[in-house]
């Protein structure tokens, strides 16, 4: 249909423009890393050699990103194939990672997280004046570089969407520059949304084509539901960019370790993060935390080594059920009297945890082996985690059912799309 064809052509144009914007954003991010190392006098004072090395790595990353964008633009201009162009540029939206030794998480202090009291109130440190000035400078620099890049590459997003802005070139350039300077991740999310929309339009066109005339009575086609089956939102967890060049995983995981947080179930997810990063001073912790109401909270990037199971961190993913399910004995960490809230995970926790574990198992090819591949913490190291009252059989049954239900083609298609997301594969 003409309207659908015009809509798809317009989406292709927007996708192309957004892809260029994402590439420019990535180059600007690498340039700002260089600025940050030059201006971060407070944290880098007295370590000139380390700062110089970080500057060199950032410069190399910026150069590599610029080269990828240049090749992608050349390919698009010569082939005029929007799908090939997107396939060339999209991998560049995941920032280039310099070759570095994998951080040995197991060299950290050998202490079980669940053997520490939860702290409900944390003092929030006030940033120094130097840090405030640095952040302001980097934000202004990002906006300025974004506007300059939009003008230099003649990239304007607003006018493509709203006709009234086509005559306001300067305003469109400023708004587009602010979008580019805001980082590649938001542009990447919008790009993926529009790419999916373009596929929907193609399917709609196919469905609306007139059927061939036959002797049989016409039957209305059944349009399959587009309600997602997996439906797990993942964005890299807590501050994923801080792990860009650290905690590198040597390969894809072959084990999933499940825990309890050993904290009162009424504590927030932010309290779990603060306990690990601010009190214990670890760079990260679990890859995922399941809250009592079934909410799924991601902490560590999936493509990075987490800190959750001493001796098995580098080859495993860690998932924790929020609460304390250790009820055996009457030591100070026991929850036999309910001092830490719920005595066992809720049904919503078990269901959500099973969905995340099933997704990981499909995504990374981890076998449903509950003795060596999907295991409680105490099978990795002597510990009470995830608690004597944890319902292992109930969780294993839920994992097996969900994993089997996602063997269908539609679910497998959704799972395969996770492979193209940032912060997923090593």
User: Tens digit of pLDDT for each residue in 148-199?
Assistant: 877 777 777 776 666 555 567 787 788 877 877 776 666 666 666 555 555 5
193-227 as b/e: b if 16+ CB within 10 A: ebbeebeeeeeeeeeeeeeeeeeeeeeeeeeeeee
Tens of pLDDT along 269-308? 999 999 999 888 888 899 999 999 999 999 999 999 999 9
Structure tokens at 275: 């306990």
- Separation CA 29–CA 135 (nearest Å): 14
**pLDDT in the model for residue 216:** 40
- Separation CA 87–CA 145 (nearest Å): 26
Tens of pLDDT along 361-408? 999 999 999 999 999 999 998 898 999 999 999 999 999 999 999 998
Question: Where residue 333 falls among pLDDT bands split at 50, 70, 90?
Answer: confident
Round the average pLDDT of the chain to a whole number and report it: 74
Phi, psi of 311 (to 5 degrees): 95, -15
Question: Where residue 326 falls among pLDDT bands split at 50, 70, 90?
Answer: very high
Higher-confidence residue of 161 and 202: namely 161
Tell me whether strands 288-290 and 296-298 are parallel, antiparallel or unpaired.
Answer: antiparallel
Q: Tokens 């894809």 map to which residue?
A: 252
Helix ranges (DSSP H) in 208-333: 269-274
Tens of pLDDT along 342-351? 999 999 999 9
Cα atoms in the Cβ-side hemisphere of radius 13 Å centred on 417 = 16
**pLDDT in the model for residue 105:** 46
Tell me whether strands 255-260 and 374-376 are parallel, antiparallel or unpaired.
Answer: parallel
- Separation CA 331–CA 418 (nearest Å): 43
> N- to C-terminal Cα distance for the chain?
43
Count Cβ atoms below 10 Å from residue 297 Cβ, excluding itself: 19
pTM (global) more than 0.75: no
What is the average per-residue pLDDT within 413-423? Answer: 89
**pLDDT in the model for residue 107:** 44
Q: Which H or E run includes 320?
A: strand 316-321
Contacts for 232 with CB less than 8 Å, ≥ 6 apart: 296, 355, 356, 359
Closest by Cα among 34, 25, 37 to 59:
34
Question: Where residue 96 falls among pLDDT bands split at 50, 70, 90?
Answer: very low
**pLDDT in the model for residue 386:** 94
Closest by Cα among 294, 296, 297 to 270:
297
What is the average per-residue pLDDT within 96-101? Answer: 42
Contacts for 121 with CB less than 8 Å, ≥ 6 apart: none
Asked if residue 160 lies in contact with residue 13, where contact means CB atoms within 8 angstroms, the answer is: yes
């Amino acid at each position: 249909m003409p309207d659908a064809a015009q809509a798809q052509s317009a989406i292709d144009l927007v996708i192309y423009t957004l892809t260029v914007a994402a590439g420019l954003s990535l180059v600007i991010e690498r340039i700002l890393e260089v600025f940050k190392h030059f201006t971060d006098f407070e944290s880098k004072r007295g370590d000139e050699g380390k700062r110089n090395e970080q500057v060199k790595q950032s410069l190399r990353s910026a150069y590599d990103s610029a080269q990828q964008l240049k090749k992608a633009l050349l390919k698009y201009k010569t082939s005029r194939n929007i799908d090939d162009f997107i396939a060339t540029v999209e991998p560049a939206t995941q920032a280039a990672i310099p070759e570095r030794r994998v951080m040995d998480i197991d060299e950290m202090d050998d202490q079980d997280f669940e053997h520490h009291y939860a702290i409900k109130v944390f003092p929030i440190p006030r940033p120094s004046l130097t840090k405030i000035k640095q952040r302001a400078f980097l934000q202004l620099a990002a906006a300025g570089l974004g506007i300059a890049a939009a003008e230099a590459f003649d990239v304007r997003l607003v006018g493509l969407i709203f006709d009234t802005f086509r005559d306001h070139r300067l305003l469109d350039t400023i708004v587009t520059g602010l979008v580019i300077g805001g980082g590649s991740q938001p542009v990447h999310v919008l790009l993926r949304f529009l790419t999916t929309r373009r596929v929907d339009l193609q399917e709609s066109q196919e469905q609306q084509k007139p059927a061939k005339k036959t002797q049989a009575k016409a039957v209305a086609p059944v349009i399959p539901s587009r309600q997602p089956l997996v439906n797990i939102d993942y964005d890299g967890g807590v501050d994923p960019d801080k792990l860009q060049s650290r905690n590198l995983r040597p390969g894809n995981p072959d084990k999933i370790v499940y825990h309890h947080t050993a904290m009162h179930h009424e504590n927030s997810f932010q309290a779990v993060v603060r306990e690990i990063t601010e009190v214990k001073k670890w760079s990260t912790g679990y890859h995922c935390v399941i809250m009592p109401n079934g909410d799924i909270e991601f902490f560590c990037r999936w493509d990075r080594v987490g800190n959750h199971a001493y001796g098995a961190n580098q080859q495993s993913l860690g998932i924790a059920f929020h609460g304390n399910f250790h009820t055996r004995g009457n030591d100070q960490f026991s929850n036999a009297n309910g001092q830490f809230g719920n005595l066992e995970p809720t049904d919503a926790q078990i269901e959500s945890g099973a969905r995340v574990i099933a997704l990981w198992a499909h995504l990374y090819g981890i076998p449903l082996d509950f003795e060596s591949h999907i295991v409680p913490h105490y099978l990795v190291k002597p510990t009470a985690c995830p608690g004597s009252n944890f319902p292992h059989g109930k969780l294993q049954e839920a994992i097996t059912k969900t994993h089997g239900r996602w063997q269908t083609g539609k679910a497998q298609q959704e799972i395969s799309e996770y492979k193209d997301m940032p912060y997923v594969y090593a």
